[in-house]
Every structure is written in structure tokens, then in C-alpha cells.
A and B are shown apart, each in its own frame.
Chain A
């Protein structure tokens, strides 16, 4: 997998090469594959080594004469064995495979319970639109005091537990931007904040080093190339393919190797993909359906960010 080393958040899991998401099922199929393979290969090897010319009495064999259909050999019982046993095995494998079918396609989440991201695939780019706000907070490692930010339509509020710091906050909100100081542990700025625009705020200390960042993607905010989703929530991607300039829209396929998910994105048809991330980190997005010249380079990143409402420690909550 493409290793990620530059993107937040710290402590995120990097996918190990060669890992398969549907591991249990893969192992079950691998087990039966090895069983069948061993039977065939051992049988073949033994037959080839044992029944060679010169090692068997050929007088018992049926004579082959050109132009004469030879004596038939069959054994109903044996042949029944290799009809019935493989049939049972196939039935069993069918049952096994149908279990994953339910996980893959069987129970799509509703738009209310899932975190819905609208995906627009073009040649050769991914674009995303959030349908509900998403807040990403990140504090520098080892920051000795907690920082809390809250944003509402008329106020930006920053508080810290200590008064001995002199911090500067710089914010942008659509076309508007500004900055203010935090010196007494609490700062409130009364200003109009457009909650339909992306809001970002970074806080730097006296030396100008960034100690904290806050980004709020409003619903309907679009981003290109990379996407952020909350941890421990069902993520639902609703996907469309669109035309760019003079070219027709073509088929793409969103491939998320981390969760082993893949679904084609067909022009004029909305398809969907859902999964449940359980660990924060940055993972790959790959286009798996041939879509033209730069198909190989239609890649992107998906970042799973902490979800304070989660009970999972790996999702930044519950601690």
C-alpha cells in the first residue's frame, strides 16, 4: 500500500502490505483450496511416479487400435464420489460466500444514520461533498494545556485552562478572515460566522509555532483529491461520474483497499459504497476501472479522523 507519513493525525494506522480485509473468509477459502490442491497434486505425483511404462504389466491394459473405439472403462461409484463430494463442498462454499454478501451489499444504511459523502469522479480526479458538518481538531503532541474551541453563528470562543500563555488565533471563513490574541485563558470574538462556509482556525504560540488547528467542513463543502471521514461511524459514499470539458463521463470504480471495498461509478447511475472505519489513519483511494489515459494516476487519500462520541480508543474516544 501507499505508505502515508505526511498526513494527520498522529498515531494513525498505516496499512500493512498484503493484508486482506475479509480475512476470515479468505482463510476459509484458502483452507479448502489447499485441501483440494493437495489431493490433486499428491494423486497426480503418485500416479505419474508409480504407473510408468515398464513398471506395470501392460497385458492387462485395453488394446488401442487405430480406427477402433477402445474398451470403455468407468466405475459408477467412483464417478459418483467425485460428483457428490465436490457438490457438497460447493454448497458449503456457497453458504460461506453468502454470509459476506450481506455485509457487502445486504443492509445499506439510511442517510440519517450514516455519514454521507457525495463522490464525484471525473477524468481523472476525485471530488467530495460533505452532507453534514465535519470538525477536525488537532493539537500538537505534548501540549501541556488543553485548548477548546467552539464556533457558532455569532461567536468564536477559545478557552485554555491556563492563563500564562500568549497565543494568537488566525481564522478564515469563506472570504472573511481575521486574527485575535488569547492571553487570559479565554477569548471570545463576536463576529458573524457563515456556517455554510468552511471555517478554519489555527492557534500559534509566542514563537509562532502552530499548537492547535481546527477545521470545520460545512455541509455542502466540496474538496478535491482528499476526503475526511469520522471514525466509528458508518460512512456512505454516494457516487456519480461526471463529464469534464468535451469528454464524455466514463466509468470509474472506487477502490478502498483498507476496507476491501469496491464499487463502479457509472455515468447516469448513482451507486453507493458503505463501510465502518474503526481506526484513525490515512488510507488510499484508487480507481480500479479503466477510465482512460491517466487511469493509473487517479489516486487519492481518505483520512479517518477522531470521533469524540465513539467508545473505541482507536477512534480517539472512550479514553
Chain B
């Protein structure tokens, strides 16, 4: 019984170790093995090969006369009309012209003719590439021959050697050394080992600090094994939360790095490829490895408690979904150790993302692994989706009816449903891309395929995905605000309808990401209208929150502050979103910093602030202690101010016309000042997150002890102990209901009935 999972894990581990080898090759060297010029002989370091006449830097399309020379003082060639030597030259960039009696082309490379091997130097003329930002490369093999063979088999006493020469174009950057495959592999594996060791040590310290006297390795291993093999929803939830928080910091670190690059005009802190890779990883990490796992973490821990279930419907599937994430993370980040990670942006548009073999013009080789990682994330999310939908559909306790379910559980239900419905589109698109990259299929290829098809597939997932991450934040805010105002939420039923409405509308608005993509204008027209509709359910939610505060008795805890901050920033982000479906404005703002400002306002100001509120709100539930309020307030103040100061000016940059995803900008453009100030504020924002990390660690031991219901909430998770036992409820609880009327219709039903009654009254009058 136990062997199967171990076998599965072993297969995954072996696959992970083996795969990087396939991609780490920089892929520069062409085929030399079928060469008749050199390889019939033995290698000899005494042979020297050289090319004279190469310029230091070439001018575009200029012609240079080159002389290829081989020399070996130990091997004397025959003197007259006999073999003296041969060569093979492979070039990347430019074209060659030559005397065809002495030199010929064989299998894409230059070599001597039969007549031509009576020499040890040959002359060719080289026309440099038209693009002088490239680096031309010459791979030369030379063979000094003693000429004793008389054309037959005698190769003894000959010696070959090879050399590579690089010539940069006038406007190319410095020649970079390509990291060879082996070195990248060593770096990758060392890093993985280092990270695992550090995490092991950290875990050991955590265990040690719990009980310093009783510490020994046996106990520690038992404890660690418990965490590694847990299928309890609380354990998996905490694993998710730690994982998400770790990658939230990693993604933030990447952002800090490229903000340094953007701080001043024409900066060269990062190379272009590094910059492109970093913003790609930043986006993908933040969405898939930080936001989604954090949400899954809260959903895992809180939803079964809120609906009165002992665990999720499929605990083992739940653990599997989590353990796919570290694998996916390794795939995503694998290329970074050879400097060749995916540089295809988080939206991964082909044909750039499917391109390969064009050197710097094509996507980095690590893109293949990157795409494979996305497939794995998709699989993990699908498993989560199935699990949560089943759990909420079938495992609600007595009294937790659809219209008596806490709003956080509702938000998870709607969001997982959307995830479940939209993921197939992404996985299909990404798998097609993966096939295009690996086995040469042509789904999105330039000549026959359709690159726009991918954009449709991606955004059919991508737009609901935005709501998948923001809806749980809505749920958190609904819980936090109601509890902090010490009363029930205003308009519970319209909140549910609004969320369900968002879940439906989210599927018909994807085209607003593609208004300038070359899509049919009639389709753009429909998408514009549908997008505007999103404002209505979102508006209902915001106004209901405000109405909840009205007349309540608000208590200011840290989670309350985050919730209030959420309403402020999310409203701003929502309003700036209304500018995009407008044709005239979108044609200007699309792919400028205005977009960057908008989605950071909804992602950070919406999702992250919501999750922070959740951290402060539910921390007592899983540790039994409250987080430190003073540190919390400090965290909120610094973060909230620096966040707005950092992201608000991005609107202005967008209005000035600064396009996103740009490595740098000119001094004349005038973007410098705002960018410098953004960088400073981003650093303050980033560092202030360490306050929360410290608070999470510190309060675990020193926080104020909390009872089962420290904030006065009503939902079922507050009726168990903090932390809850395993299984989470000794017996399935029953949720009571304070509403005395037997059955109250919701807003919607009452509205329908009123409309119905209009007719009845008329009939009565008649």
C-alpha cells in the first residue's frame, strides 16, 4: 500500500533530475560529427588553427578577407602536390565567398576540396551580417596531415585541433560566455541541495525551539515525516501558506532587482535577457506560486472548519496537489541557473514563446522547462478545484445550507468553480505550445498556425484567473469587516448573487485583453460591452461593505485596517479598469504602464491586502495566539503608504506613454524622475513585508493567548478550539440559525415576487 506513492515520488524526482539536461545546452555548436575533413584523424594539441583578417568588431554587411591557417611544427607535410592538411569551418552570422576549386560546402559547413588539401592555408571572404547588434561566431577545425596516406587509409601521424572565434558587431553588447550544459547542471543541483539543506535546518530549529530538552534526531525525523506525509487539511493548508509566503518573497526580490534596473535612464544593471527573464518570473511567481498557494492555504485550513467538515473530500489528492507545486517551481526556475530561463512574459504569447534556434532573437532554451512547469501548475490547480467543489457540494454540516454558508466559503466555491472551468483552456494552449517547442508541431507556428488562437485560449483562462484570486479576497473582507463592525454582513444574499454573477461575467470578457491584437472588430465590440458589466456586481459588493459599516461598532484591529485599506485601493483599481474597454483609450493605454498600475492596484491592493487581513484574522485559529498588534499596525502603515506612493505614479508613466516590459528608456523621454521615486518606494514596501514575517515568527511563541473565538466571529471555525483538533470536529457540528422566521426569501426572490405581485394587483383591480 505504501509503496505506490513512494514509487510515484521517485519517478517524479528522477524526471526532475533528468530533464534539465535536455535543456541546459546553449545549442550553439552545429553538427561536426559527419565531417570528412578532420575527424578521421587523432586530436593533437600541437596543431594550431587560426583565422587572420578578422576585425575586432564588424560593420554591418562589410566584406572581410580571411585567411585560415593551420600549423604544426611536428608534422611536416609532403612537399609537392600531396596532402598537407584540411579544415572545417562553421559560421554563425554572415555569408562566405570562396574559390570553389579549393574550398567547398559540405553539410552546412565549409571544408577543403580534394584539390584543396594540398595546402595549410586557405583564403575566403566573409560578408558580415546585416544586423550589427549580433555576435558572429567561427568554429574552425584544422588537421595537419603528413601526407603518407596517398589518398587511402593511412591516418597515423596526423593531428587535428579546433578553436572558436567570436566577432561582435559594432552595436553588439559585450560577448557573453555561454555557460556550458554541465556547469548549469552543477549550479542547479547545488542550489536545490542548498535550499533543501537550509529548509531542513530551519525546520529543525522550529522543532528544537518547541521542546529543547526532548530534542533528538529520531524525534525530529518523526515530526518532519509527519509534515511531509500529512494529508490533514490543516497540515496541507499550513504547507501551502508557507510555500506561498516563501515565493511571495522570492517574487518580490525579483521585482526589487528589476526596479534597480529601471531606477535610472539607460541603466545597465541587468542585461536585456536578465531583465526579460526576471519580469517573466516575477509575474508567473506572484500569480501561480504566491497568490494561488496562499489562497489554497486559507481555503484548505478554513473552508472545512467553516462548513463543519472533518477534512476535505479527497485528502490524499489534496496532498498530491500541494506536492506538485515544488516540482513546478523547480521547473519554472531551473533555467535561471544557466542564465537561460524563460523570457516569454507571464502571458507566454507565441510565436516568440515557441521560437528556438534563432540565438538571441528566440526565446531562451529554459522556456521549455518553464512551459512544462505551467502545465504542472495547471494539473495541481485542477486537483484542488475538484477537491474543493466536491467538499463544498457534499460535506456541509447540518444547518450550513447554501444560503447560510459563510461568505469566505462561498467565495472559494465560486472561485474554484471558475478555476475548474477555465483551466482546460490554459492547459490545452500550453500543451500545444510545449509540443510546438519540443516535437515541432505547428499549432502556433508562424507560417501555418494561428498565434492569436493561443491568446484566446490563454485569456479565456487568464481573465477568470484574475477573479479566481480576487474573489477569495472578497470573501475574507466580508468576514473581517462584519466581525470588526460586530454585526452581520449587510445584504448577505445579494453578496452571494454578486459573486456568482462575477463568476459568470468573467467568462465573456477575455477579449478586452486583446482589443489591439488583430482580433475581429465585431468581437471587440461585444467584449467591450461585456467588460463594462463587471462594474455592476463589483459595485454591489463595495456598497454592501459600506452599508455593513454603517451603524456598526467598528473595532480597529490590524485585520480591520487591511480590510479598510482594501476597499480604498481596490476601488481605485476597479475604477482604472473601466478605462480599458474603451476603444479609444485602450488603444493608447494597452501595454503601457497604465496597465501595470491597474493590475498592481487590483492584485496587490486587492488580493494581497485581502490575504494580509486573512493572515492577521485567522492566525489565532492555527496557532492559538494572536499576532502582535503593534507590529501589525506598523506593517500596515508603512506598507500602505509606500504601496500607494510606489504604484500610483505608474498611472502617470502610462499616460506619458511609457510601454511596459521595457528594459530601459532614454533620458529625453522624461520617465526618469518618476521611475527613481517608484524604485525607492518599492524598496520600502518590499522591506516592510519583513515586519510581517518577523511578526509571524515572533507571535508563535510570544503572542497573546487567544481563545476559540478571539474576534467575536460567528462562523463554525470559531466554535472549535484554537488550534483545532485532528480530525477537526470530534462530532459533526450543527449550525444554528438566529433568524426566527421559518424561511426568508433572498433579495432576488423577493424582487421577483414583487414583480409578480404587480400583475396580481392589476388583476385584483379588474
Chain A residues at the B interface, C-beta cutoff of 8 Å: 1-3, 17-18, 20-22, 25-26, 29, 32-33, 36-37, 40-41, 43-44, 47-48, 51-56, 58, 61-76, 78-80, 82-83, 86-87, 89-90, 93-94, 96-98, 100-101, 103-106, 123, 243-251, 253, 255, 257, 260-269, 271, 284, 286-297
Contacts and interface: CB of A to CB of B under 8 A. Distances in A.
B583 A94 contact: no
Contacts, number: 337
Contact of B547 (A71, A78, A98, A284): A78
Contacts of A253: 516, 591
Contacts of A96: 582
A36 B133 CA distance: 50
B735 A68 contact: yes
A67 B576 CA distance: 40
Interface centre among A68, A93, A284 (most CB of B within 10 A): A68
B713 A293 contact: no
Interface stretch (B161-169, B525-533, B637-645): B525-533
B536 A87 contact: yes
21 contacts: A2-B666, A21-B584, A26-B585, A41-B571, A44-B564, A51-B550, A53-B486, A61-B487, A61-B553, A68-B714, A69-B739, A75-B491, A76-B751, A79-B747, A82-B543, A97-B581, A248-B362, A262-B591, A293-B361, A294-B272, A296-B272
B571 A67 contact: no
A296 B517 contact: no
B492 to A, nearest CB: 6
Interface stretch (B65-73, B77-85, B247-255, B650-658): B650-658
Contacts of A86: 535-536, 539-540
Contact of B669 (A1, A40, A288): A1
Interface string B573-604: 00110110111110110111000000000000
Interface residues of B, number: 120
A60 B362 CA distance: 67
Interface of B: 129, 131, 133, 272-273, 276, 343, 345, 349, 351-352, 354-355, 357-363, 399, 404, 445-448, 451-452, 483, 485-494, 516-518, 521, 524-525, 528-529, 532-533, 535-536, 539-540, 542-544, 546-547, 549-556, 564, 567-568, 571-572, 575-576, 578-579, 581-585, 587-588, 590-592, 652, 655-657, 659, 661-666, 668-670, 708-709, 712-716, 718-719, 733-739, 744, 747, 750-751, 754
A249 B446 contact: yes
B532 A93 contact: yes
Contacts of A40: 542, 546, 567, 571
Contact of B584 (A55, A103, A243): A103
B84 to A, nearest CB: 35
A68 B713 CA distance: 10
B655 A69 contact: no
Contacts of B446: 243, 248-249, 267-268
B755 to A, nearest CB: 11
A101 B357 CA distance: 40
B564 A48 contact: yes
Nearest to B712: A64
Nearest to A239: B518
Closest 6 A-B residue pairs measured CB to CB? A247-B358, A100-B584, A247-B361, A296-B662, A22-B584, A70-B488
B738 A244 contact: no
Given A18-B655, A51-B485, A94 B528 contact: yes
Contacts of B489: 73
Contacts of B663: 294-297
Contact of A245 (B361, B445, B750): B361
A249 B551 CA distance: 61
A104 B448 CA distance: 29
Contact of A51 (B551, B576, B591): B551
Contact of B493 (A65, A69, A74, A271): A74
Contacts of A293: 272-273, 276, 343, 360-361
A276 B546 CA distance: 47
A33 B716 CA distance: 40
Interface centre among A26, A36, A40, A58 (most CB of B within 10 A): A40
A291 B360 CA distance: 11
**Interface on chain A toward B: helix, strand, loop, or mixed SS?**
mixed
Contact of B738 (A62, A80, A123): A62
Contact of B744 (A29, A44, A72, A286): A72
Given A20-B655, A264-B516, 12 more contacts: A22-B587, A37-B571, A40-B567, A44-B568, A67-B736, A68-B714, A69-B738, A75-B490, A79-B494, A105-B583, A248-B362, A257-B657
A53 B483 CA distance: 12
Given A66-B718, A262-B516, A293-B273, A104 B587 contact: yes
B623 to A, nearest CB: 18
B486 A64 contact: yes
B655 A53 contact: no
Given A73-B488, A73-B491, A44 B662 contact: no
A224 B485 CA distance: 65
Given A67-B735, A79-B540, A86-B539, A101 B517 contact: no
B659 A255 contact: yes
Contacts of B349: 251, 289-290
A96 B584 CA distance: 10
Contacts of B665: 296
A61 B493 contact: no
A294 to B, nearest CB: 6
A55 B556 CA distance: 13
Nearest to B355: A248
B662 A244 contact: no
A50 B702 CA distance: 34
Nearest to A23: B584
B521 A37 contact: no
Contact of A72 (B587, B739, B751): B739
A56 B739 contact: no
Contacts of B361: 123, 244-247, 292-293
Contacts of A292: 276, 343, 352, 360-363
Nearest to A108: B521
Contacts of A245: 129, 131, 358, 361
Contacts of A269: 452, 518
Contacts of A123: 361
Nearest to B352: A250
B276 A66 contact: no
B272 A29 contact: no
Contact of A18 (B516, B652, B664): B652
A1 B591 CA distance: 16
Contacts of A18: 652, 655-656
A59 B345 CA distance: 55
A58 to B, nearest CB: 5
A104 to B, nearest CB: 4
A153 B352 CA distance: 46
A97 B528 contact: yes
Interface centre among A36, A244, A247 (most CB of B within 10 A): A247
Contact of B583 (A58, A83, A104): A104
